[in-house]
Amino acid sequence: MNPVYMDNNATTRTAPEVVETMLPYFTELYGNPSSMHYFGGQVEKAVRGAREKIAALIGADPGEIVFTSCGTESDNTAVLGTLESYPEKRHVVTTRVEHPAVRNVGHHLQKKGYQVTELSVDRGGALDLRRLEQAVTSDTAVVSIMWANNETGVVFPIEEAAAIAKSKGAVFHTDAVQAVGKIPIDLSKLRDVDLLSLSGHKLHAPKGIGVLYVRKGTRLSPYIIGGHQEGGRRGGTENVPYIIGLGKAAELAGTRMDDENTRVRALRDKLEKGLMERIPNSILNGEGQVRLPNTSNVSFEYVEGESILLLMSNLGICASSGSACTSGSLEPSHVLRAMGVPFTAAHGSIRFSLSYYNTEDEVDYVLDHLPGIIEKLRDISPFWSDYVRQSVAR
């Protein structure tokens, strides 16, 4: 069974072109880029090329690209490294809808005596910038706000948020793991963004490679202490094949950006519009907000997400859910709860996240099969029969 893969915010297929570019660096070109011989030197040159490609994708200078092992490491480095650089400051501002890679760092810091402000969002998932303005003080070391939400795809106004942080003397970090490669980002024009995290496997590079963008002149202590690699910002021998792969993926993302924002966006729109039309009592989470072109988060009331996922999975359809049962936790997604999505809907939320590789046939396939799955589960659900009974009575 070929999967109908619509879970690209979880991870993406490594592009075949990327794999091909990487392979020689496992076999023939295995030198250490730091070595003082031609054999390492040619690898160093290739790493430099990859750095340039990634810098080009986000409008950065190659010297501002620091390779890490993943998005989580980038996020941890940004927040903890900044705090270490500003020991006199004891306050961090972030949001209630951040990825655990930032949010749980905040919780950890709270336990260690730092003050952490988590900004709330409204029903659509939007931030109130006035609240940000009030929250940032002279004691704030770092403001960390994600560029786009992994669950809903809602895009935050990063330029404005960064300007507020900078005006109060705080460092501004953004977790752009879901944004890079999907929407245009030009850091040469966003002078107030100091730090930005990205992750390779969200843009068709392999898992195990990430980047922390560090604007020139930003004070940041290293998180992994070791050799002189990455300009002393991150110790450890470079993960050469993966860096080369990420360079290729960044190049591809640049050329496919238009496709993502036209064809993929149209597929996403067709999918969510079709689902809303075909399935009664479904709610589009983040509706009316600026969203990523590939992400759709739909709640199907009175049914539970894990059941939906499993029945879809039997048909080869791969997606995610914010339901409690899928994660092993017992409460539904912190993002949907922060948005105030009612429990009748939060447990039945499904996230579809598309990519360059999705086709219209796949969207049609989902539209053909999902309504039947929801109907089947609603037939079993006591709340659905209660709801229908009440609607009839009314």
Answer yes or no: 70 catalytic. no
Work out which of 224, 324, 365, 369 binds other proteins, going by CB under 8 A.
324
Beta carbon of residue 392, minimum distance to other proteins (angstroms, whole number): 15
Spot the catalytic one: 19, 129, 257, 325: 325
Record the tokens describing residue 182, joined without a space. 């999907």
285 makes contact with other proteins (CB under 8 A): no
The residue among 181 and 305 lying less far from other proteins, judged by its C-beta, is 305
Distance of CA 329 to the CA centre of its chain: 20
For the record, the structure tokens of 8 come out as 């690209």
The smaller minimum CB distance to other proteins, of residues 174 and 307, is found at 307
Residue 378 CB, nearest approach to other proteins (Å):
9
When binding is defined by CB under 8 A, the residue of 306, 315, 365, 367 that contacts other proteins is: 306
CB of 329 to other proteins, least distance (A): 7
Strand partners, 295: 353
Is 310 an interacting residue with respect to other proteins (CB under 8 A)? yes
Q: Is 382 in the site for other proteins (CB under 8 A)?
A: yes
Q: 26 or 383, CB closer to other proteins?
A: 383
Pairing of β 4-5 and β 210-214: unpaired
Among residues 35, 110, 262, 385, the one that binds other proteins under rule CB under 8 A: 385
- Count of residues near other proteins by CB under 8 A: 28
Minimal distance in Å, beta carbon 240 to other proteins? 33
Residue 26 near other proteins by CB under 8 A: no
The binder of other proteins chosen from 113, 328, 361, 393 (CB under 8 A): 328
Output the smallest distance, CB 302 to other proteins, in A: 7
Closer CB to other proteins, 264 or 345, in the complex: 345
Give the binding site for other proteins (CB under 8 A). 302-307, 310-311, 314, 323-326, 328-332, 343-344, 347, 379-385
User: Which sequence positions are flagged as catalytic?
Assistant: 325
